[in-house]
Amino acid sequence: VLQNLSQTPVLRELLKEAKMPGTTVKIESPELSMLCCFPFKQEPQLIKLDQPCPLTLAMHQFLTEMQETKKGVVTPKELFAQVCKKAIRFKGYQQQDSHELLRYLLDGMRAEE
Query: pLDDT tens across 5-46, in order?
Result: 988 888 888 788 776 666 676 666 655 445 555 555 567 767
* Per-residue pLDDT, 108: 85
Host domain of residue 59 = 1-20+52-111
The separation between the first and the last C-alpha atoms of the chain, rounded to the nearest angstrom, is 22
Query: Which residues fall within 8 angstroms of residue 30, CB to CB, at 6 or more apart?
Result: 42
User: Is residue 11 domain-resident?
Assistant: yes
User: Is residue 32 domain-resident?
Assistant: no
User: Is residue 41 domain-resident?
Assistant: no
User: Is residue 26 domain-resident?
Assistant: no
User: Is residue 46 domain-resident?
Assistant: no
Count of structural domains, the chain: 1
Give 78's pLDDT tier (boundaries 50, 70, 90).
Answer: very high
User: Is residue 7 domain-resident?
Assistant: yes
Contact 68, 60 (CB under 8 A): no
Q: Phi-psi bin for 99: left (phi > 0), alpha (psi -120 to 50), beta?
A: alpha
